[in-house]
Amino acid sequence: MRLNRINNNDLEAFRLMVGPDRFSIGESVLNLHSKDQSRHSPSLPEAVIWPMNASEIAEILRYANEHLIPVTAWGSGSSLEGNPIPVEGGLVLDFSQMNRILDIREEDFQADVEPGVIYKDLNKKLRHKGLFFAPDPGADATLGGMIANNSSGTRTVRYGSTRDNILRLSVVLANGEIIHTGSRSSKSSSGYDLVRLFVGSEGTLGLVVEATVRLVGIPGEFSAAIVTFPTVESAGRAVYEIIRSGMNPSALELLAPECIELINREHELGLKVAPTLFMEYDGPSVQQLAELLDMTKEICEEVGCDEFRPGLGMTERDRLFKARHELAEIIMRNHPGCSHMAIDIAVPITAYPEMIAMAIEDRKNSGIPTYIFSHAGDGNLHIVFEGKTGDEKEWAVIEEMNERIISKALSMDGTATGEHGVGIGKRRFMAAEHGNSLEWMKKIKTLFDPNGILNPGKIFE
């Protein structure tokens, strides 16, 4: 169905719904909401609204649905696959003013939040209660954006992705209907799991206006280690052996030498420039953690590690985590005049070493600046390419590498996107990954959004 441009009558109708202070068609505002952190081309919306509650969103969507106006939700714009770019123009709903923490029920290990809450702000408030929200994507992501993309991060290996930490949702559908799905109980066998359907749907099925999130207690003790290896492949083998042993690290990150070199330069960490595993364990006692590190050291030495540095203090651990979270920005800063492409494939843990080996071989053969790092504990590999902006020949090489690496991941029963979402960049791989089940996804989309107004142009070609 063909969607419509916003006309003057529509602009006036939207302005009256929220007032002039939360409505804009200003050039700078439209530009700000035209692009995320990916290299995908910007696309200007025609208007931006900052909603404050579910009833406002319901009214806006009812109108937009009746007049066939596209609507795209906006969190913080930190996505990496063009997920919030309004490719069909229309209206952007910026959720930054729906940023209230509505309730914290520490005895139930739960919190109710609005979609504009930044997860770091939530954890700052929870810290005083000895609790935290575990998914940790690193960027200043909002809870709504994390839910939309099923974000993960460094702690996924222990605590799961965003999908595993959402109990209940309130969602406004395309026709303005408000539904509530899930419950506050920790488990349920009641009906279809609509919560897990909406998480990861990138705002194409409905707009989340409230979520109940699962919290966990801040561990009493933690211990961390840095391990260097002669090759990235041997580090990948160590990851497999650690996971196979059942030792359950809370973080297990792999950084290739080119990444270590950059973060040393920017953060003066003094790390050996070599393939490096950073791992962390948490638990109730120092003795238990010491035993885990001893067992981990044995595994790493068996696969030929060069150095095992255990017992990192909190300050050093925090510095390394900070550098790891800033790595994508550090890479971009060190390549002025370049555009970047980020791949985030995930494969079964047994396939992880082979997947890394292929990525390294491609990097050697291409001559393209390429950075390899990963949430190694769950087989989620990140590869960032830096190509000269406007250099068609160089970007043709990068696109070939992108296609080859993703195809390899799919051939190993992996996925084209571990945590960044489909957005614009991964649409063309959906048929190869999902086969005829993709047609059922389209039917679900049509059921919830028959006029196709919600974030059009995403997930499906």
pLDDT digits (tens, 9 = 90+) for 108-160: 999 999 999 999 999 999 999 999 999 988 778 999 999 999 999 888 999 99
pLDDT at 323: 84
Task: Examine the domain organization and report whether 311 and 348 are in the same domain.
Answer: no
Task: Examine the domain organization and report whether 204 and 225 are in the same domain.
Answer: no
User: Is residue 457 assigned to a domain?
Assistant: no
pLDDT digits (tens, 9 = 90+) for 44-63: 999 999 999 999 999 999 99
Q: What is the pTM of this model?
A: 0.93
**In sequence order, what are the residues at sequence separation of 6 or more whose Cβ sits closer than 8 angstroms to the Cβ of residue 437?**
none
pLDDT at 388: 94
Pick the last residue of a domain from 297, 328, 359: 328
CATH at residue 353: 3.30.70.2740
Pick the last residue of a domain from 96, 116, 150: 96
Task: Examine the domain organization and report whether 322 and 358 are in the same domain.
Answer: no
User: Is residue 448 assigned to a domain?
Assistant: no
Q: Are 83 and 39 in contact (CB under 8 A)?
A: no
User: Is residue 450 assigned to a domain?
Assistant: no
- d(C-alpha 152, C-alpha 420), whole Å: 9
CATH at residue 79: 3.30.43.10
- d(C-alpha 172, C-alpha 147), whole Å: 14
- d(C-alpha 356, C-alpha 398), whole Å: 17
User: Is residue 460 assigned to a domain?
Assistant: no
Task: Examine the domain organization and report whether 191 and 139 are in the same domain.
Answer: yes
Pick the last residue of a domain from 96, 111, 133: 96
User: Is residue 85 assigned to a domain?
Assistant: yes
Task: Examine the domain organization and report whether 109 and 210 are in the same domain.
Answer: yes
User: Is residue 41 assigned to a domain?
Assistant: yes
Structural domains counted in the chain:
4
User: Is residue 451 assigned to a domain?
Assistant: no
Task: Examine the domain organization and report whether 404 and 300 are in the same domain.
Answer: no
Which domain does 236 fall in, by range? 221-328
Q: In which region does residue 167 sit, left (phi positive, over 0), alpha (psi from -120 to 50) or beta (all else)?
A: alpha
pLDDT at 387: 93
User: Is residue 42 assigned to a domain?
Assistant: yes
pLDDT at 316: 76
Task: Examine the domain organization and report whether 233 and 322 are in the same domain.
Answer: yes
Q: Are 309 and 255 in contact (CB under 8 A)?
A: no
Task: Examine the domain organization and report whether 207 and 170 are in the same domain.
Answer: yes
pLDDT at 126: 97
Task: Examine the domain organization and report whether 64 and 40 are in the same domain.
Answer: yes
Task: Examine the domain organization and report whether 102 and 211 are in the same domain.
Answer: yes
Task: Examine the domain organization and report whether 260 and 318 are in the same domain.
Answer: yes
Residues of the chain with pLDDT under 50: none
Task: Examine the domain organization and report whether 412 and 350 are in the same domain.
Answer: yes
3-state DSSP of the chain: CCCCCCCHHHHHHHHHHHCHHHEECCHHHHHHCCCCCCCCCCCCCCEEECCCCHHHHHHHHHHHHHCCCCEEEECCCCCCCCCCCCCCCCEEEEHHHCCCEEEEECCCCEEEECCCCEHHHHHHHHHCCCEECCCECCCCCEHHHHHHHCCCECCHHHHCCHHHHEEEEEEECCCCCEEEEECCCCCCCCCCCHHHHHCCCCCCCCEEEEEEEECEECCCEEEEEEEECCCHHHHHHHHHHHHHCCCCCCEEEEECHHHHHHHHHHHCCCCCCCCEEEEEEEECCHHHHHHHHHHHHHHHHHCCCCEEEECCCHHHHHHHHHHHHCHHHHHHHCCCCEEEEEEECECCHHHHHHHHHHHHHHHHHHCCCEEEEEEHHHCEEEEEEEEECCCHHHHHHHHHHHHHHHHHHHHCCCECECCCCCCCCCHHHHHHHHCCHHHHHHHHHHHHCCCCCECCCCCCC
Q: Are 98 and 51 in contact (CB under 8 A)?
A: yes
pLDDT at 216: 96
